[in-house]
Amino acid sequence: MNIIACVKQVPDTEAQIKVKADGSGIEEGQIKWVMNPYDEFGVEEALKMKEKNGGDVTIICVGPARAMETIRTALAMGADKGIHICDPVFDNADAFVIANALAAAIKTLPHDIIFCGQRAIDDDSGQVGAMLAEALGLPQLTVITKLDFAGSSVKVVRPVEGAQMVIETPLPCVVTAQKGLNEPRYASLPGIMKAKKKPVDVKKAADLGIATEAKAKVAKVVPPPARPPGKIVGGDDPAQKAAELGRLLREEAKAI
Amino acid sequence: MAKGVMIVAEQRDGALRKISLELASTARKLADQTGDEVSAILLGSGIEGLAAELGKYGVDKVFVGDNAALEPYITEAHADVVAKIVKENDPAILLLGASSQGKDLSARVAAKLATGLATDCTDVKIDGGKFVAIRPLYAGKCVGEIEFTSTPAMASLRPNVFAAEENAKAGAVVKVDAAVDAAAIKSKVVEVQKDTSGKVDLTEANVIVSGGRGMKDADGFAVLEALADVLKANVGASRAAVDAGWRQQKDQVGQTGKVVSPNLYIACGISGAIQHLAGMSSSKCIVAINKDPEAPIFTKADYGIVDDLFKVVPELTAVCKKIIG
């Protein structure tokens, strides 16, 4: 099987995000960069599929030079080779540009199934998987928590509000991974050693022949609106505190 | 030239979802600023009757696509029909819900139309004649203002954030050809497993009572369940509580779980790791109950109680029962 997993490098979930004074973006200096957690589920599922059915796993990533580290992490987990789309023109790209870049690279490769994370925890857009599927003319299965492969099709579980949809789709298709799909493995030490020698092909925008102008632009980034300071509800004992809180929620906040 | 505001209404099992009314109401406010029309796309089977309700919330015209092949929702079919209606009518702004369905559909439609999309917006406005979408980035650690270089400018709206207000307009039904090429639809819904708990999804809940590491074990959540019963609330959980196996994944609030914005969020035994705060700080009223006065959750809370939650919560349950009656 020809399996592809798309990854993105993002700030760690515990990272403090500081907005640049001119509102043009965030301060990157102190940030610890990791593989997007949802992409880890995608990589893990790709590796499980390869272990069961044979084939190889190609990692594709759009990102600056530092993102090579994330590709190496996926290779250390067990993927076979990588493509790093690395070009400053993608620094201000939107999901549409990124999806088209990924699609252009994937079109040159045989592909049976393509995994993405359901969203990246930096811009939280959750668009790339579906846009990639459209660009490749493939069906999409988004936010998936269970996947069964049966020869030429997959059967997946997709939770929605108040229900779970069970959907069957023939390959090739694009699957976006949600937490719950699997437990991503850690890279082993031998895996890390081997990853250093695995091939990673670096591509520029010009190699892909795509338009790189964003359709949706982040014009300004600002800190979140400050919440007015809260009050600590006092009292001699838990009963008094609870009574006062109940009164405040009813009379002041009108929340109950 | 592109003109007007269009929404994609969402229905399930023949009933409009609340987000549809939030979309209609928000579209009305935008359109009134430029003197434009609000139209809606409504797809499904036997759903024409729902158009009147959209009219009540400010929609002038409803494009109804009635086709059994559109039930239940399947991406490829819906995206094709929506893209076709949008192309024919050329709206300046296209709004969808940032619900499970809306998120899946909006990105596919945006790609078909080769246009820009801002997902999960918490505000939208017309600024100097330009449409601007405002959305949290880094799970709310900062906020981005999104501008568009293409039409329609697309945005999906976070459920529960925008008000649904009545503002009666015609809601005139325009039947559209909703034919889908069955051979082109590769995915098939083989089963819909309904949640039988009778609770709405966490993302749509009005009140959420959440527990974290301080709940000690799965049984500890019983006190929260009792409070939730009285408040008709959902029970949520922090990542720590989910990773410990005390609660299900679908209950997780935070950067790697659900982003919620209820009217009232009561955090019990949750210290407030930054990744949890990111998932709940757009809640309207936040209460924190924790015995550690230094817990970061208190920096986000409107009301805090520093005490043992196992003593406070049962008392609060009794108080609320008395207040609500």
CB proximity B262 to A under 8 Å: no
CB proximity A92 to B under 8 Å: no
Contact B189 A124 (CB under 8 A): no
Contact A256 B231 (CB under 8 A): yes
CB proximity B240 to A under 8 Å: no
Tokens of B175: 């039947």
- What amino acid is encoded at A104 in this protein? A
Q: Which residues of B touch A128 (CB under 8 A)?
A: 107
Which 8-state DSSP code applies to residue A136?
H
Q: Which of A127, A221, A246 sits opposite B144 (nearest CB)?
A: A221
Contact B72 A134 (CB under 8 A): no
pLDDT tens by residue, B256-299: 899 899 999 999 999 999 889 989 988 999 999 999 999 999 99
Q: Would you state the pLDDT for residue A190?
A: 97
Q: Which residue has the tokens 């008094």?
A: A240
**pLDDT band of B197, cuts 50, 70, 90:** confident
DSSP codes, B114-139: T--EEEEESEEEEETTEEEEEEEEGG
Tell which of A165, A182, A248 to mutate to test the B interface (max B CBs under 10 Å): A165
With CA atoms as reference, the chain A residue closest to B187 would be: A169
- Cα–Cα dist A116/A180, whole Å: 15
CB proximity B316 to A under 8 Å: yes
CB contact residues (below 8 A), chain A span 39-78, against chain B: none
- What amino acid is encoded at B236 in this protein? G
Answer yes or no: same fold for B5-184 and B202-324: yes
pLDDT over 90 at B251, yes or no: yes
Tell me the domain boundaries of chain B. 5-184, 202-324
Contact A14 B145 (CB under 8 A): no
Query: Nearest CA to CA, how far is B173 from chain A (Å)?
Result: 28
- Cα–Cα dist A84/A102, whole Å: 10
CB proximity B292 to A under 8 Å: no
Strands (E), chain B: 5-8, 11-12, 15-16, 38-44, 61-66, 93-97, 117-121, 123-127, 130-137, 142-148, 153-157, 172-175, 188-194, 207-211, 234-237, 264-268, 285-290, 303-306
CB proximity A220 to B under 8 Å: yes
Q: Would you state the pLDDT for residue B325?
A: 81
Q: Which of B114, B190, B285 sits opposite A255 (nearest CB)?
A: B285
Q: Which of A16, A159, A233 sits opposite B303 (nearest CB)?
A: A233
CB proximity A152 to B under 8 Å: no
Q: Would you state the pLDDT for residue B57?
A: 98
Q: Which residues of A touch B148 (CB under 8 A)?
A: 215-217
Contact B307 A145 (CB under 8 A): no
Burial of residue B193 (number of CB atoms within 10 Å: 0-12, 13-18, 19+): exposed
**pLDDT band of B255, cuts 50, 70, 90:** confident
**pLDDT band of B214, cuts 50, 70, 90:** very high
CB proximity B33 to A under 8 Å: no
Contact A249 B99 (CB under 8 A): no
Which 8-state DSSP code applies to residue A105?
H
CB contact residues (below 8 A), chain B span 40-59, against chain A: none
Q: Would you state the pLDDT for residue B199?
A: 85
Q: Which of B148, B255, B286 sits opposite A215 (nearest CB)?
A: B148
Q: Which residues of A touch B302 (CB under 8 A)?
A: 227-228, 230-231, 253
The average pLDDT across B131-152 equals: 94
- Cα–Cα dist B311/A205, whole Å: 61
Contact A231 B275 (CB under 8 A): no
- Cα–Cα dist B258/A102, whole Å: 27
What is the dotted CATH code of the domain comprising B5-184? 3.40.50.620
pLDDT values of chain A reduced to their tens digit, one per residue, 256 residues: 999 999 999 999 888 899 999 999 999 988 999 999 999 999 999 999 999 999 999 999 999 999 999 999 999 999 999 999 999 999 989 999 999 999 999 999 999 999 999 999 999 999 999 999 999 999 999 999 999 999 899 999 999 999 999 999 999 999 999 999 999 999 999 999 999 999 999 999 999 999 999 999 999 999 988 888 899 999 999 999 999 999 999 999 999 9
Which 8-state DSSP code applies to residue B253?
B
User: Three-state SS for A55?
Assistant: coil
pLDDT tens by residue, B180-196: 998 889 999 999 999 88
pLDDT over 90 at B40, yes or no: yes
User: Three-state SS for B325?
Assistant: coil
Neighbours of A228 (CB within 10 A): 6
Q: Which residue has the tokens 């925890």?
A: A121
Contact A121 B138 (CB under 8 A): yes
Contact in structure between A97 and A210 (CB atoms under 8 Å): yes
Q: Would you state the pLDDT for residue A104?
A: 98
CB proximity A233 to B under 8 Å: yes
Q: Which residues of A touch B306 (CB under 8 A)?
A: 232
The CATH class that applies to domain B202-324 reads: alpha beta
Contact B319 A233 (CB under 8 A): no
